[in-house]
Chains A and B, each alone.
Chain A
Amino acid sequence: MEGIRSSTRSRDLLRKIKEFTLSILEDLSEGLSPLIFIQSFRTYCTNLDLICSCRSNQPSGHEILTFQKESHVHRIDVLLRVLLIVQQLLQENKHASKRDIYYMHPLIFSDQSVVDRAINDICILLQCSRHNLNVVSVGNGLVMGWLRFFEAGRKFDCINSPNTAHTVPVLVEDVKDLVSAALYILVVEKESVFQRLENDKFCSKNRCIVITGRGYPDVPTRRFLRLLVDKLCLPVYCLVDCDPYGFDILATYRFGSMQMAYDAKFLRVPQIQWLGAFPSDSENYDLPKQCLLPLTIEDKRKTEAMLQRCYLHQEVPDWRSELELMLQRGTKFEIEALSVHSLSFLSEVYIPGKIQEIKSICQV
C-alpha cells in the first residue's frame, strides 16, 4: 500500500525509535522534562457551523505529554513499554498481536484499550501504520466470489468455487497476483447475511465479490477491501441493517473510524455506496409491522449523536435524510426481515433490484 519494501520500512522505524529515545535522554541530561508531541486526528467533528477540514487527512491538533501530569506520565510509561516490545519485534522480524502485547505486562497495562492507545500513539509518533510495527491481528473478515489470489504462497481460488468462504488475509502485503472477473463488490454487515448469500449460491448467479467484516470491520478487512477497490476499480455496495449500528458500520467503511483516524486515508473506501436497507424499504417491500422494532433510548441517542457528524452535512446529505427518517419513524429492522416473503428474497429480488436502481441512476 505504501509501495515501500518492508525491510527498508523496518530500518526506517528503528531509526526513528532510536532518535526518539535519544531526544528523551538529551532532555533528561539537561535537566528538562521531556516533551512528547502527539498529533491528534479525527474522521469527523460536530462543529456544523464551519466548513471543517476533517477530510483533509491533516491532524486536527496535538497534545503535549510531559512529566508534570500524572495521567501523562502513565501514558508515557505504557508507550515506552510498548515501544520496547515493538523494537524487539522489528529487530527480530517477528509479529505479535495487540492481545499478545497486552499479555506481556497485564498488571501494568490493566486493560487492552491502554495497549491500543499506546500503539496508536506510536503509529502517530513514528508516522506509520500499525502493521508496519509488526503488530497484526488475525483477520475477522470473510470473502467469497469471483476472486483469485496468492497469500504467502498459498492459493485462494474462489473463482473455481465462488460460494466458498475464505478468511480475509491478515497482511495485505502478502497478497499477490490478484485476479478477478467480478463486476462489483458487495460488502455485508453481518455473517448471517453472508451465510444466507452463500447458501443461496448468490455468487454463482451474480458475478461479484462478497465480503463481510462480521460487524464493525477490523483493520485487515478494511485494508483488504481497499486493496480490492484500488486494484480492481470496481463499484462497491454496502448492505447493512436499517438501524443506528448498521449505519455506523457503513460510515466506518466510508469515512474510517475515530480510533484509527490517523490511518484513515489508507483504510477508508470513499467510493462505497449505500445499497440498503433504507427506512423507506419497509413500505416499498411491504414489510409487515411485526418486523419493525422500536428504536430504544440508546438507539435514539446514538442516532442523534451521529446526525451531528460533519460529513453527514457536507458529504452525504442524502444519507442524512434517511437517518433522519429512521429517527422520525422511531423504528428499525434487520436485513433478515426481508426474508419474510421468501428465504431467497434477499439474493434473488432485493439485491439485484437495488443494484439495477443504482446503475440506472448513474447512467442518467
Chain B
Amino acid sequence: MDISSVQKLCIDLISSAVQRCRLSEDLCRLSVVLKSSPPIIRVSISDTGTGSCLEEFQDLKCNREGIGTEKWDGLLSIKTTSISDNKIYHYHLNLRGSVSARRLTRLPSILKNDAKFSGTEVCLSISETIDALLNDIKHYFQKMLILKIPSVAAELVIERGDASGLRCQNVFLPNECSPLNFSSSNVERLKSGLEEYVLKHRNSLNNKCDSCFCSREKLKISSGVARSMESHRSPGLIVEAVIAISEHSESLCFRSSGNKTEVLHFKDFSPSSVSIASLNALTSIDWRSYGLTLVSAVDQVDHALIEWESLPPYLHIDMVIHCYHKQVITFPGKCKYQPDRHLIKKGVKLALDDLKEKHTGLLLSAHAVKICSYAPDLASSIAGIILSSNDVKFRSKCSLLLELSQSQEIGKQTVEDRIKEKIISVIETNDRKPEKIKEAAPFLFEDDRPQDLDPADLYLEEHEGGDDVFSFPD
C-alpha cells in the first residue's frame, strides 16, 4: 500500500503537469528527472505549461495519509511562473504539517527580466527503489502515447548516482505512423494511438510488428463519440471509444490471450482506473447483436478485462475508452461529474456500429450467422431450379443476373457459389441496419393475424388406411 502510494503521488504530479501543458496553447516540454543516490531518489517534474496555483498541491494532501514518513517527508519544492508574471515564485510546501502551522514557506523569487515563459517545477525526495518507480512512470508514458496529445513532448531522464554514473534518457514523442496534423480531432488521435499500440503488440515492441501486420487490412479500427448536454449544473462530458480488431492468419508472436480484451481507460487525458459506470456499461451492451458473448468484465485496476465466450481463432479485440470534460480543467481530482453508464455505453455502441458499417461481415450478430448457415442450401436449390430447367433463354437470363459468363458450360458449383455469395452479402447488409428498420412489416389487413385455429385442422400427418375412425389423410 505504501509503495503504490509513492508511485501514485509521482504519477499524480506528472498528470497535473500534463494538464497544465494542455491548457497552454503552445508546444510544451515535460521532463521527469530521477536522480538516484541510493536509498534516496530525487524526483523532479518540470513542464513548460501554464503556471500552477497552490490549490493544486493542497489537494494532494488527502491522499498522502497512506505514505509512511520513512518513504517521503512530505516536502514539495515548487517553482512556478505564469506567462504574465515577471518573477518565478519559489515555495516549499509541507503537506504533513498540521493545519494552521506554517506549511507554506515562501522562498525568494527569481526575476525573469522580461523573458516570456511559463512553467512549473516540482521536486521531492523519496526513499524507494528506482526500478519500481521507473516501471510505473514508463508505463504511464507509454499509455499516454495512445492519446497522442499533440502539444506535449515528454522525456524521462534517469541519473544513477552509483559507481557507473550512468545517465540515460528516454524520449516519448507521439510517433507519426500515420499522418496526423495539428488540427486532427482528439478521437482521430486516439484511433491512431491505439493503432500503433496494437501494431507494436501492446507496447512490447519498439516498432510495429511486420510479420503479423504485413498488410494494413489486418487491423480494423473504428471509433464512437458520445457527448452529454451541457447545462449550468453539469459540464459537457465527452466519451470516446475506439475499437481495434486484428486478424492474424498465422502469427509467430501472437500470444494466446485470444479470448480476452483489455479495455484501457483514460480520464481527462490521463490514464485512469476503471469506474463502476464503465464496467456496468460494458456488461449491459447487447453483444449478441455483434456476434459476441460476454462472460465477464473485471476491474484490473489500470484496465478492465473482458472475457469472451469464444472468439473466432486469430481474432483479437482491443478497446480504449476516454472520458473527458469538454472544457479543459486544471484540477481533475476535484471533478465531481462522472460520465454515467449510458454515455459510456453509447460511445462504445457507436464504435461497434461504425465497425460493422465499414466492414461488411465483421461482428455479424448471432442471428445473422444462423441465417447465413442456410445460404448453401438455398443456393443449391436455386441453382438446381436454374440448371434443371429446359428453357435455354431462362438459363441465360439467370447467368446474366448472376454476372456469370453466358457460355453453356457453367458448372453447378460455380452457379451455387455465386448465388451463395449474393445471399450472404444480402444477409450481412441487412444485419447492419439499425434495429428500428427490422420491425415486421405492418399488417395490411386487420384480420391478417393468424386466428386461433383448432390445431387438429392444420398439417396433420398422413396415416395409412387401417384405423378408419380417426385417420386424417389429406
Contact = CB atoms under 8 A, between A and B. Distances in A.
Interface of A: 14, 17-18, 21-22, 24-26, 28-29, 31-33, 40, 42, 45-47, 60-64, 67-68, 70, 73-74, 76-77, 80-81, 83-84, 87-88, 91, 98-99, 108, 111-113, 116-117, 137, 140, 190-192, 214-216, 218-219, 241, 245, 248, 257-260, 302, 305-306
6 contacts: A14-B390, A33-B430, A68-B371, A70-B367, A87-B389, A245-B470
Q: How large is the interface on B (under 10, 10 to 19, 20 to 34, 35 or more residues)?
A: 35 or more
A258 B458 contact: yes
Interface of B: 367, 370-371, 374, 377-378, 381-382, 384-386, 388-391, 394, 397-398, 401-403, 419, 422-423, 425-427, 429-430, 438, 441, 443-445, 447-448, 450-454, 456-462, 465, 467-474
Contacts of A83: 381, 385
A137 B454 CA distance: 25
Contact of B460 (A21, A113, A140, A219): A113
A108 B380 CA distance: 13
Given A84-B385, A216-B473, A259-B460, 12 more contacts: A18-B389, A22-B397, A28-B423, A61-B443, A61-B448, A73-B371, A74-B374, A214-B468, A215-B471, A248-B456, A259-B457, A260-B474
B439 to A, nearest CB: 10
Contact of A31 (B426, B443, B460): B426
A40 to B, nearest CB: 7
B382 A80 contact: yes
A254 to B, nearest CB: 15
A143 B456 CA distance: 27
A198 B27 CA distance: 110
A72 to B, nearest CB: 9
A116 to B, nearest CB: 5
Nearest to A86: B385
B32 to A, nearest CB: 56
A215 B459 CA distance: 16
Nearest to B390: A91
A54 to B, nearest CB: 10
A91 B384 CA distance: 14
Given A24-B382, A91-B390, A45 B451 contact: yes
B378 A80 contact: yes
A292 B150 CA distance: 96
Given A22-B397, A80-B382, A259 B459 contact: yes
A218 B443 CA distance: 33
- Main secondary structure on A side of the interface with B: helix
Closest 4 pairs between A and B when the two form their complex, measured CB to CB: A61-B448, A80-B381, A258-B457, A113-B459
B441 A64 contact: yes
Given A29-B422, A45-B451, A215 B430 contact: no
B426 A67 contact: yes
A80 B473 contact: no
A257 B425 CA distance: 41
B371 A22 contact: no
A68 B438 contact: yes
Contacts of A80: 378, 381-382, 385
A116 B461 CA distance: 9
B379 to A, nearest CB: 10
B307 to A, nearest CB: 28
Given A99-B462, A216-B471, A62 B448 contact: yes
B161 to A, nearest CB: 70
A40 B460 contact: no
B452 A46 contact: yes
Given A83-B381, A116-B459, A33 B397 contact: no
Contacts of B447: 45, 47, 60-61
A216 B472 contact: yes
A183 B382 CA distance: 53
B460 to A, nearest CB: 7
B462 A190 contact: no
Nearest to A243: B469
Given A22-B401, A259-B458, A302-B454, A214 B471 contact: yes
A46 B454 CA distance: 10
B466 to A, nearest CB: 9
Contacts of B469: 190, 215, 241, 245
Identify the interface centre among A26, A32, A67, A99: most chain B CB within 10 Å of its CB.
A67
A63 B367 CA distance: 21
Contacts of B390: 14, 91
A222 B401 CA distance: 44
Identify the interface centre among A22, A219, A306: most chain B CB within 10 Å of its CB.
A22
A218 B473 contact: yes
Contact of B462 (A32, A81, A112): A112
A215 B472 contact: yes
Contacts of A260: 474
A137 B473 contact: yes
Nearest to B371: A73
Given A25-B382, A98-B462, A190-B468, A42 B451 contact: yes
A99 to B, nearest CB: 7
Contacts of A214: 465, 468, 471
Identify the interface centre among A73, A116, A306: most chain B CB within 10 Å of its CB.
A73
Nearest to B459: A113
A134 B380 CA distance: 23
A259 B459 CA distance: 6
Nearest to A80: B381
Contacts of B459: 113, 116-117, 259
A96 B378 CA distance: 23
A190 B467 CA distance: 10
A67 B465 contact: no
A250 to B, nearest CB: 14
A92 B467 CA distance: 36
B461 to A, nearest CB: 5
A153 B444 CA distance: 50
Contacts of A64: 441
A309 to B, nearest CB: 9
Given A84-B381, A140-B473, A21 B374 contact: no
B398 A21 contact: yes
Nearest to B443: A61
A214 B473 CA distance: 9
Nearest to B463: A215
A22 B394 contact: yes
Identify the interface centre among A32, A62, A68: most chain B CB within 10 Å of its CB.
A68
Contacts of A112: 461-462
A74 B373 CA distance: 10
Contacts of B461: 111-113
Contact of A192 (B384, B456, B468): B468
Contacts of B371: 67-68, 70, 73
Contacts of A88: 388
A45 B446 CA distance: 13
